[in-house]
Amino acid sequence: MFKRMREDIEVVFEQDPAARSYLEVVLTYSGLHAIWAHRVAHALFKRKLFFLARVISQISRFFTGIEIHPGAKIGRRFFIDHGMGVVIGETCEIGDNVTVFQGVTLGGTGKEKGKRHPTIKDNALIATGAKVLGSITVGENSKIGAGSVVLKEVPPNSTVVGVPGRVVIQDGKRINKDFNHCDLPDPVADRLRDMQFELNQLKVELEELKEERIKVNGHSTL
């Protein structure tokens, strides 16, 4: 148990440049507290002590602002950065070395039974405010851009942005976690630029047609 706790603390130092000391991390990092509380709640949940597990998860939610259902399965070296507003559903499965930022929702799409929450594979990163909904899989080494809404499967080694989420990068190489959210491609903006270019071209052609018509009409009146 203490080895896992030390591992959790080391992940904080790896992922957060603002971390200064072990004491600061242990006492002030709500994401760390939420993960530790979830381990206790999940152990009780597996023993069918559902009410007690739920009580612990709700107390953790009250103090950390992070809601993790006791039934969720979370791997090693899971890191929640800041964490306020993070929601993780009951049947969610999270692999190893996964990072999520504040406002992330790993939720369902309705009232269906059974597996209804996402599966997040190893080394994935889910950025601020992203929503991953339904029983879908986010592949290994993939990134979900800030504010994206993902409703479909995400292949491994991919970057997804937009609403609804679209795969914009998939090169088969491992994608590092040290990226700037502002530098992600924006397929919606790219499409709008293309449309604006086409509109400009149409305006030019329309002006040429008008000038040609004026010349023809002027010539016919002479």
pLDDT at position 177 over 60: no
| 3-state helix vs strand vs coil in the chain, percent to 5 | 40, 15, 40
Query: What pLDDT sits at residue 222?
Result: 44
Helix (H, G, I), strand (E, B) or coil at 107: strand
- In the predicted model, what is the mean pLDDT of residues 175-182? 55
What is the 8-class DSSP label of residue 17?
Answer: T
Structure tokens at 151: 């409703």
What confidence tier does 221 reach under pLDDT thresholds 50, 70, 90?
Answer: very low
- In the predicted model, what is the mean pLDDT of residues 7-33? 90
The secondary structure of 42-53 as a DSSP string is HHHHHTT-HHHH
Tell me the percentage of the chain whose pLDDT exceeds 90.
55
- In the predicted model, what is the mean pLDDT of residues 142-167? 89
- In the predicted model, what is the mean pLDDT of residues 52-65? 95
Mean pLDDT in the chain? 87
| Cβ neighbours of 115 (radius 10 Å) | 14
